[in-house]
Amino acid sequence: MRAIFYLILIISAYLIIKSLLEPRPRNSADKIRSRTRAADIGSDMVQDLYCNTFIPKESAIKEVISGKVHFFCSKECSNKFKAKV
């Protein structure tokens, strides 16, 4: 009886240690990588609110509409968006 108890104890201890050690470094590395990737896209690309295309921030048309800064791929889109609002 005691042998089975120890066996269960060892197996559960092994599973706990395995679950603690294995996924952690992989997950945290993925999280950091995806976070930096999202930050890179966020700093360079902006979304056109009218046609929903992503455009580089430098070439986007910047419009301040009701106190908020919006970006558009073209003057046409900004005019259409302003007409819609």
Alpha helices in the chain (DSSP H): 2-21, 23-44, 75-84
Residues 6+ apart with CB under 8 A from 72: 48, 49, 50, 55, 60, 61, 63, 78, 81
Q: Contact, 47 vs 71, CB < 8 A?
A: yes
The amino acid occupying position 44 is D
Query: Does position 71 bind Zn ion by CB under 5 A?
Result: no
Positions in 11-40 near Zn ion (CB under 5 A): none
CB of 66 to Zn ion, least distance (A): 19
Binder of Zn ion out of 49, 51, 63, 79 (CB under 5 A)? 51
CB nearer to Zn ion: give 46 or 77.
Answer: 77
Single out the residue of 46, 48, 60, 70 in contact with Zn ion (rule: CB under 5 A).
48
Does 60 participate in binding Zn ion (rule CB under 5 A)?
no
Question: By CB under 5 A, how many residues form the interface with Zn ion?
Answer: 4
